[in-house]
Amino acid sequence: MSFARAARALRRLSGPAGLYRAPVYTACTVAALVITFGLGKDLTWDTLHYHLYAGLCALHDRFAQDYFAAGPQAYLNPWPYAPFYALVAAGLSSVAIGVLLTVAGSGALWLTYELAAAVSPLAEPRGRAALGVVAVALALLNPVLLQELGSAAADLSTAELALAGWLLLLAAVRTPHLAPVLAGAVLLGAASALKLSNALHALAAGVLVLLVPVPWRARLRYAGVYALGGGAAFALIAAPWSIRLAQLFGNPFFPFFNGLFRSPDFITQPLRQLRFIPASLSEALWRPFAMLDPTPMVHNELRAPDGRYALLLLLAAALLGLSLWRRLGWGRSPAAPSVTAGGLRPLAALGAAFALDWMLWLWTSGNSRYFLSGSCVAAALAAALMPLVTGRQPGRWATLAAVAVALGTIHLAMNATGLRWSAVPWDRSPWLRVEVPPRLAAAPALYLSIGANSNAFLAAYLPGGSGFVNFTGAYPLGPAGASGARVAALIRRFAPHLRMLVAGERLYTDLKQIPNLPDVDGALARFGLRADAADCARITVRGSGPDAQAARGVLHLVSCGLLPGAAPEYGPDPAAERAAELILDRLEAACPLLLEPRPPLTEYRNRRYQRVYLNTDLYGWVSRGYVKIANPVSGDGPFFLGPEEEWLRAPPPVVCSRRAGHDFARVLLPGPQRR
């Protein structure tokens, strides 16, 4: 049972269609490069928030000097991001890095070709290769895959491991043998260890193992080998990072599964990102067609119209109808094509595994970034079903394929603005050009960062002994409990070398400008600190992309020294804070399914008392005498829920609703909204 045997099984699986492998692979990589460099360099929020920082953590132990430096994402397995960090640290140009990342990402297209050739119902080598090419073309119509080509995200690289695992298991379905089962289990276990979302694909792939054509006793042995091999690979690859997490937090998967391990450093309620999860069965059933809509917040934060799942569903329905038509003898129907010697079992097995994978994905996230391997499987399935629907004449299924690809291309081209988060022209300069003032580069300090974007990437550009804490962001940290003790210990260790970090060109005193001194001091008050407005420096980051915080590709960050003693004029008022907490508690009780996990820390930010809800991206707050709620990710709100005094007397009747998509969450009062 070796990988050599597994490789031989794969060669038998593709058969004569493998003769076309070299030109197809070359064309896939060239197409990926053309698309990547045509769209521009993409520098996402995640890259600045945690991708580069995670790669740094993989190669440098940061546990002693950082704490939630990139929020909860700081503790994801960092190894998938190590190659990107290594390329950036080596000083390669953005063009060189883009080429290397894109070539590596094009492997998903190679594997899509192999999957389609493996399940092709056509016996002729040319036909099987042609269906593989159709599958590749359909895979390239996935806007989310195009977003990830040439980027630092680990979704595509780990999806390739999962796809390779599925392909090996498919080889066992075609020619029963333990070697490809074990090899596939290892790859899927590795993919799951590197990115936990791949564990669902590993679970769904178990259907392929259960459909290997051997007696049930042997099938159970195959399933045991799959479970043990995948579990061993997961444990081996996850162990180095998980051991460190267990030593520090008592939870080897921190921050996940904390309801089981109960680390005092994080909430114990379940974490479940509801952003794209259907809110009802009807939404779930409609999702393949909803994804045709070229609007944001359907299955991705950007505009990502994708008609391939609707196509696959229609093809499957048409095939079912034709099968019933033939079985009942109601009339003539297109003659079925001559099939490969292995029959349709591999195609049926792949379809069954994909159906389970789709349902698990919708139930857990519905986010297409976590379904890239399933997306490529869908392309292979759609291509393979075409000859079964149209009949054995090549002209028919080729016409159907050409029409499907042409319509998909037009649909995507008309909405191409969603293919990059922040397109920046490629050049021969470094991926990021970070200009650090000499006084910040001279000595390490502890940086307390403010904002949902932690800007933790700066850890790679500041003195190595510097520490980072993102204390107010997606997961705010307070002065109490284990988190407060850890932050206080870092403050004592680095004092007096303490600084705050926030996005902006300068620190303003005017409340109408962001960032401003009252807001910063109000946030720092929880740790008994205040900003020294006379000791501020500006860090400039060029090539960072035109987003809300970076005009013309230039991001400015302000860092000011910190002084002991909170600024009482800018800190929270104890009586107002108690009233706000009572109101927010009542709001959470009125909308328990929306405002979770709870209760989060109540922050004082910009003269308002607010809470952030990780599972739904919602912010609830009390300010200027009103209770409000908003979703900054989807752009819903702010919704005004009535005066503060009314909530203090008795909670008004509130109607809460949620639906996946653009208007993700709304909290409405009966009758007209008050603004």
Model pLDDT for residues 508-518, shown as the tens digit of each residue: 988 888 899 99
Q: Per-residue confidence at 336, pLDDT binned at 50, 70, 90?
A: low
Residue 663: pLDDT above 60?
Answer: no
pLDDT, residue 271, reads 86
C-alpha–C-alpha distance, residues 511 and 518, integer Å: 7
What percentage of the chain has pLDDT greater than the value 70? Answer: 91
User: What one-letter code names the amino acid at 497?
Assistant: H
Distances (CA, A) of 532 to 72, 458, 508, 529, 606: 29, 21, 12, 10, 18
Are 621 and 608 in contact, with CB atoms under 8 Å apart?
yes
The pTM for the full model equals 0.90
DSSP state, residue 308:
H
- Give the model confidence (pLDDT) of 128-167 as tens digits: 899 999 999 999 999 999 999 999 999 999 999 999 999 9
Instruction: Return the closest-CA partner of residue 128 out of 408, 318, 347, 348.
Output: 347
Question: Which tens digit of pLDDT belongs to each residue from 570-610?
Answer: 888 899 999 999 999 999 998 888 888 877 899 998 889 99
Q: What share of the chain is helix, strand, coil (3-state, %, to 5)?
A: 55, 15, 30
Tell me, what's the pLDDT at 295? 86
| Average pLDDT along the chain | 89
What amino acid is encoded at 537 in this protein?
Answer: A
Q: Return phi, psi of residue 600, to 5°.
A: -80, 175
Largest CA distance in the chain: 87
Q: Which residue, chain included where needed, has tokens 């653009």?
A: 662
Instruction: Return the SS3 of 424.
Output: strand
- At a CB cut-off of 8 Å and minimum separation 6, what does 161 contact? 187, 188, 190, 191, 194, 198
605: its two tokens: 């930010």
User: Could you check whether the bond before residue 264 is cis, i.e. omega within 30 degrees of 0?
Assistant: no
655 CB-contact burial (10 Å; exposed 0-12 / middle 13-18 / buried 19+): exposed
Which range, of 197-201, 548-552, 595-599, 608-612, averages the lowest pLDDT?
548-552
Indicate whether 671 pLDDT > 70. no
Helix (H) / strand (E) element for 486: namely helix 481-494
What tokens were used for 397?
């299924």
User: Do the beta carbons of residue 502 and residue 450 sit within 8 Å?
Assistant: yes
Residue 230, C-beta contacts closer than 8 angstroms, at least 6 positions apart: 185, 186, 188, 189, 192, 202
Question: Percent of the chain beyond pLDDT 90?
Answer: 68
Does the pLDDT at position 416 exceed 70?
A: no
**CB 490, CB 539: distance < 8 Å:** no
Could you please report the per-residue DSSP string of 608-655? Answer: EEEEEETTTTEEEEEETTEEEEEETTTTEEEEEEEEHHHHHHSPPP-E
**What pLDDT sits at residue 384?**
95
Which range is least confidently modeled, 19-28, 70-79, 536-545, 663-672?
Answer: 663-672
Element (H, E) at 554: strand 554-564
Number of other residues whose CB lies within 10 A of the CB of residue 443: 11
277 vs 353, 359, 659, CA distance in Å?
20, 11, 8
| Token duo for residue 513 | 């400008």
> What pLDDT is recorded for position 551?
44
pLDDT value of position 341: 45
Work out the average pLDDT over 287-301: 91
Identify residue 266 by its one-letter amino acid code: F
pLDDT band at 42 (very low <50, low <70, confident <90, very high): confident
**Least confidently predicted of 17-31, 277-291, 297-311, 327-341:** 327-341
Q: Which of 421-435, 443-457, 646-660 has the highest mean pLDDT?
A: 443-457
Please count the residues of the chain.
Answer: 675
Render the burial of 137-175: b for 16+ CB within 10 Å, e for the rest.
Answer: bbbbbbbbbbbbbbbbbbbbbbbbbbbbbbbbbbbbbbe
CA dihedral sign of residues 642, 647, 653, 658: positive
Q: Are 24 and 47 in contact (CB under 8 A)?
A: no
CA 569, 570, 573, 576 torsion-angle sign = positive
Q: Cα–Cα distance between 505 and 491 in angstroms, integer?
A: 26
Q: How many CB atoms neighbour CB 442 within 10 A? A: 10
